[in-house]
Chain A
Amino acid sequence: MAITKETQIGKIEVVGKYKSVQVRTDTVVMEDGEELSRKYHRHVLACGTLDADNNLVDTVLTDEHAEVQAVCNAVWTQSIKDAYRTFLASQNDI
């Protein structure tokens, strides 16, 4: 009888015009290969953040799962980054 716990990338969803990447990480507890429980944790990745000069700083992906990195790199084109930078700059307005 072996109890194991592992994390899996449950979902990778690309949403919105700025191609936010929504990642669901599943923590799965199994006994002899049979799933006992599954818990979700979510985070969302945008293509960047603004610095003090309103330049877009690319999001660092090194800690992300390889599948997540691949999706981000595929959808975050320069035109998406440019549009997102403009959007973020306008966000300072309440």
Chain B
Amino acid sequence: MSEVKVNKISPRSGTDVTLGDSGDTFTVPTGVTLDTSNSTVTLPDGSVTNAKIVDSTIELAKLSATGTKDATTFLRGDNTFAAAGLNGWSENGANNDLLPASASAGIYLGVNSATAANLLDDYEEGSWTPIDDSGAGLSFSNTSGNCFYTKIGNVVCASFRVTYPSTATSNNAHIGGLPFTAKSQSVNTDAVSFGEQNYVAGTMAVVSQGNTNFLFLTTNGSSVSLVPNSSISGKDFRGTVIYKT
């Protein structure tokens, strides 16, 4: 093997120096350093076909992409830094709950195109206070700490306990104060289920459509009658109202 030792190779004329011919191989032994720190070396597109870059040497700053680079974004295939996750939704910090930026945003269920009837966009839990809606101005007892609601979509489930005061008023019994206004429709349909009550067996109650109360009913097997306050004087009712908004 012949060896040439020089400190600098320069073109004899012009600016180009050619190393070897097509098919030649130039070997750079292990331990050799190519120091290009004082210049910019341009490798033509497609000229590097097999290279090994030392681990952990490519910094984010070396990437050229549009968008904002920070802890909340990631690099997409179209060379764009984009927000992680779904547009308009976050993870509520460390809690990992899916949280929309808009309070009216929801999730479509059971469809693959936006259909209003399939949009679940409301959920809420809270408490409510039953009040006398008969017009007699009665004050109920045992309501505190016993009346809660959960609203899922357009369905409200409201639990309650109401104890009527002693009363001789003849107004038809209406318990009001429901946490949401019931849906307006032709007739009253949504029911009250009593878990416990000490009035007559078979007592019913139905939610007033378009309103925030329910009224007491009894039946003799053929007709249905409203129940006056006097009939349920001192009586205790516990149950659940399920209705639509």
Contact = CB atoms under 8 A, between A and B. Distances in A.
Interface stretch (B14-22, B38-46, B65-73, B209-217): B209-217
B169 to A, nearest CB: 11
Interface in A3-54: 15-18, 20, 22, 24, 39-44, 46, 49-52
B196 interface: no
B194 interface: no
Contact of A16 (B125, B128, B129, B184): B184
Contacts of A16: 181, 184, 210
A91 interface: yes
Contacts of B149: 42
Interface residues of A, number: 22
A20 B209 CA distance: 13
A79 interface: no
Contacts, number: 61
A42 B180 contact: yes
Interface stretch (B23-31, B74-82, B171-179): B171-179
Contacts of A24: 124, 126
A94 B210 contact: no
A40 B129 contact: no
Given A40-B127, A41-B128, A51-B135, A94 B180 contact: no
B221 to A, nearest CB: 15
Q: Which of A24, A40, A42, A43 has the most chain B CB atoms inside 10 A of its CB?
A: A42
Given A87-B210, A92-B172, A94-B188, A42 B133 contact: no
B226 interface: yes
Nearest to A20: B181
Interface of B: 124-129, 133, 135, 149, 172, 177-181, 184, 188, 206, 208, 210-212, 215, 217, 224-226, 245
A-B pairs, top 10 by smallest CB distance, nearest first, are A40-B126, A42-B179, A20-B181, A44-B212, A41-B127, A15-B181, A94-B224, A42-B128, A16-B181, A42-B126
6 contacts: A17-B184, A40-B126, A41-B129, A44-B179, A44-B212, A94-B217
Given A18-B210, A39-B127, A50-B135, 7 more contacts: A16-B181, A17-B184, A20-B181, A22-B180, A43-B128, A43-B177, A49-B135
